[in-house]
Homo-oligomer: A and B are copies of this chain.
Amino acid sequence: MSYIPKSTCYRVTPQRRIVLEELKKVCTHPTAQEVYELVQKQDKSVSLATVYRSLDFLVEQELVIKLKARGKQARYDADLTQHCHLVCKKCGRVSDCFDVEKLKIDSKEIGKLGFCPCLDYLEIPGLCRECCGC
């Protein structure tokens, strides 16, 4: 698994490999529970706690993005190409959007606030096709 840098003192375990590989297969931004179900199809012995720990580890290694979105469950994404997320306020579903002009923030305002924005993987609230009446 070339994804995970060898430089760390942490190991590339079979569990972590499966979690990342399964996450790379889908584009549905699954919850930890859903990742667990995907992982279970590969290896019944992997526990939910390990899935949570592996996801934390992969987020730490910047190989996976954690989305807070709406809803109580976090969602995960292993697609690292620059894009933002359209998050439905009603049903919580998340879809990708690759054609978004970057947000422009007034530089004076920024300086005043001393805030360093991370505009990649922005989460844009709204209503998806199913939930939007219009």
Which residues of A are in contact with B by a Cβ distance under 8 Å?
A: 68-70, 86, 88-89, 95, 97-106, 108-110, 113-119, 121-129, 132, 134
Contact = CB atoms under 8 A, between A and B. Distances in A.
Contact of A105 (B95, B100, B110, B123): B100
Contacts of A119: 124
How many protomers of this protein does the assembly include? Answer: 2
Contact of A126 (B98, B101, B116, B128): B116
Nearest to A129: B114
A108 B100 CA distance: 11
Contact of A68 (B68, B118, B126): B68
B68 A86 contact: no
